[in-house]
């Protein structure tokens, strides 16, 4: 199959990711941070190394500020619900994924107000609108680094500057950008960074990351065994233990660590340039097919390697079905768990046919996909 669904999860992973997972499971599959024997210590070391790798990638000082979660959704829930309390106000955008929108909507029941900044039809965000929405009780700004529907890259540096100046916490959802785009939590004034481990970071599914900036108070929502302060019946408040109760996903984190090592070895620039080239190639190809609607910026330097299209008014799911069955091209049609983003770009009813590329996507694959779209277009209209 030609796999063009990398915004859902990257596939394949680098060989060293598979090897790291298997090596952990087969050779030191003990419980990290629990016992003190050799295998347990080795398992603990790979997790600590993972934290260090995350630090290197995002310019974080202290590995203890890196929390491993089971996915980006958990990281976002933890950050959003851990920070916001009754009477607080949160600002977000109309391009967010349900992993941001649903927690924020649910907090309305707890007396947390929200403002959703309307983005333009290409998914673009004017940071001044965020600044203007800040009120006395605004505690948090939550913005995706790039839309999972249109790929549109958000001006997070400018928002970080605003957040810092206004003394508001800033949470970035980097699920679509980590491992491809430069993210520097210090320079960008990011207080909380949530991301998936299995997308651009090339780790296995079942992994996510939350960075918690110094002095940011985040409530936990799970308690349990932490391997620390075992004699106490209350959750220890030290990081990262406070947020990592129970046995972690050690093989997953071992794989994620290898994924980040691979990225650091290749270099973000090389990875991003490849993805830009692929995206550019795809955009040019589909622009040449009459009757194809392309959403978003339509500019590979202004969007992550995600392109949403439609073929006239055809149902996106049907196009997805044909791409899979007839052309062996795997994409994701529909709403991509981001209904407000689809409302923003005008596709809430139709959904879109989303193509998303990765570091291992080749131009040949993209060309086959373009030809498939052309064929479907000629068939249906």
Q: Which of residues 122-141 bind a second copy (CB under 8 A)?
A: none
The Cα 239–Cα 221 span in angstroms is 14
Q: Does the protein bind a second copy through residue 335 (CB under 8 A)?
A: yes
- Mark the segment that binds a second copy (CB under 8 A) among 82-90, 273-281, 303-311, 313-321: 313-321
Work out whether strand 329-330 and strand 2-3 pair parallel, antiparallel, or are unpaired. Answer: parallel
Cα 267 from Cα 285, distance rounded (Å): 28
**Binder to a second copy among 16, 34, 52, 126 (CB under 8 A)?**
34
Tell me the site size for a second copy, rule CB under 8 A: 88
Q: Binders of a second copy among 206-265, rule CB under 8 A?
A: 206-208, 221-227, 230-235, 245-252, 255
For position 321 contacting a second copy by CB under 8 A, the verdict is: yes
Q: How far apart are CA 19 and CA 217, in angstroms?
A: 37
For the chain, how many residues are written?
381
Kindly state the smallest distance separating residue 174's Cβ from a second copy, in Å. Answer: 15
Q: Cβ of residue 37: shortest distance to a second copy, in angstroms?
A: 3
Q: How far is the CB of 378 from a second copy (least distance, A)?
A: 22
Instruction: Report helix angle 250-266 to 268-287, nearest 10.
Output: 80
User: Given the complex with a second copy, which of 18 and 48 has the nearer CB atom?
Assistant: 18
CB of 40 to a second copy, least distance (A): 7
Given candidates 16, 31, 48, 375, which one binds a second copy under the rule CB under 8 A? 31
CB of 16 to a second copy, least distance (A): 12
Listed in sequence order, the residues at least 6 apart from 109 whose beta carbon sits closer than 8 Å to its beta carbon are none
Are 136 and 35 contacting, i.e. CB atoms less than 8 angstroms apart? no
Binding to a second copy, residues 87-116 (CB under 8 A): 97-99, 101-103, 105-106
Q: Which of 63, 227 has the CB closer to a second copy?
A: 227
User: Could you tell me the smallest distance in angstroms from the CB atom of residue 166 to a second copy?
Assistant: 26
Least distance (Å) between residue 376 CB and a second copy = 15
Peptide bond into 345 cis (omega under 30): no
Residue 59 or residue 317: which is nearer to a second copy going by CB?
317
Among 336, 347, 350, 355, binds a second copy (CB under 8 A): 336
For residues 323 and 3, is the Cβ–Cβ distance under 8 A? no
Q: Distance (Å, rounded) from C-alpha 110 to C-alpha 294?
A: 39
- To the nearest whole angstrom, how small is the minimum distance from the Cβ of residue 68 to a second copy? 10
Q: Using the structure block, give the residue that is written with the tokens 């995002």.
A: 58
Rule CB under 8 A: say whether 37 interacts with a second copy.
yes
Q: Is 332 in the site for a second copy (CB under 8 A)?
A: yes
Where in 162-201 is the site for a second copy (CB under 8 A)?
Answer: 196, 198
x/- string (CB under 8 A) for a second copy, residues 339-368? xx-------x--------------------
Q: Where would I find the beta strands (DSSP E) of the chain? A: 2-3, 66-69, 89-93, 113-117, 138-144, 169-173, 192-196, 208-212, 292-294, 306-311, 329-330, 332-334, 352-356
What CA–CA distance (Å, rounded) separates 164 from 146? 21
Question: C-alpha distances in angstroms, 363 versus 18, 176, 293, 326?
Answer: 25, 21, 21, 20
* 71: contact with a second copy by CB under 8 A: yes
Identify which range of 162-170, 181-189, 319-327, 368-376 contacts a second copy by CB under 8 A: 319-327
Of the ranges 87-95, 161-169, 324-332, 361-369, which one interacts with a second copy (CB under 8 A)? 324-332
Q: Which is nearer to a second copy, 107 or 183 (CB)?
A: 107
Burial bucket for residue 128 (CB in 10 Å: 0-12, 13-18, 19+): exposed
Q: Does 338 bind a second copy (CB under 8 A)?
A: yes
Least Cα distance to 249 among 70, 22, 91 occurs for 70
The single residue among 16, 29, 184, 298 that binds a second copy, judged by CB under 8 A, is 29
Question: Within 13 Å and on the Cβ side, how many CA atoms surround 70?
Answer: 7
> How far, in Å, CA of 365 to CA of 346, rounded?
29
């Amino acid at each position: 199959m030609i796999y063009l669904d990398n915004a859902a999860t990257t596939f394949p992973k680098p060989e060293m990711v598979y090897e790291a997972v298997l090596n952990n499971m087969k050779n030191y599959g003990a419980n990290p941070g629990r016992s003190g024997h050799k295998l347990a210590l080795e398992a603990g070391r790979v997790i600590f190394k993972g934290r260090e790798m995350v630090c290197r990638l995002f310019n974080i000082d202290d590995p203890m500020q890196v929390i491993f979660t089971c996915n980006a959704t958990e990281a976002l829930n933890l950050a959003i619900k851990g920070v916001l309390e009754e009477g607080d106000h949160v600002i977000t955008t109309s391009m967010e994924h349900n992993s941001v929108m649903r927690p924020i909507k649910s907090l309305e029941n707890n007396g947390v107000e929200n403002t959703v900044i309307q983005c333009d039809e290409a998914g673009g965000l004017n940071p001044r609108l965020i600044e203007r929405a800040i009120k006395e009780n605004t505690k948090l700004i939550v913005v995706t680094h790039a839309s999972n529907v249109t790929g549109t890259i958000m001006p997070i540096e400018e928002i970080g500057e605003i957040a810092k100046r206004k003394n508001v916490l800033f949470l970035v959802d980097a699920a679509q950008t980590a491992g491809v785009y430069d993210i520097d939590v210090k320079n960008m004034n990011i207080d909380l960074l949530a991301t998936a481990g299995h997308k651009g970071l090339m780790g296995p599914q079942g992994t996510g990351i939350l960075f918690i900036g110094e002095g940011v108070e985040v409530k936990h929502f799970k308690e349990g065994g932490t391997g620390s302060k075992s004699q106490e019946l209350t959750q220890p408040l030290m990081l990262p233990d406070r947020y990592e109760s129970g046995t972690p996903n050690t093989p997953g984190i071992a794989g994620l660590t290898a994924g980040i090592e691979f990225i650091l070895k290749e270099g973000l620039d090389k990875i991003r340039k490849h993805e830009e080239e692929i995206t550019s190639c795809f955009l040019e190809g589909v622009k040449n097919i009459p009757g194809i609607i392309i959403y978003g910026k339509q500019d590979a330097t202004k969007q992550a390697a995600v392109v949403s299209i439609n073929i006239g008014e055809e149902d996106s799911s049907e196009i997805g079905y044909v791409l899979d069955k007839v052309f062996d091209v795997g994409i994701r049609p529909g709403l991509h768990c981001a209904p407000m983003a689809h409302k923003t770009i005008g596709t809430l009813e139709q959904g879109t046919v989303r193509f998303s590329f990765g570091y291992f996507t080749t131009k040949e694959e993209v060309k086959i996909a373009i030809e498939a779209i052309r064929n479907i277009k000629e068939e249906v209209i």
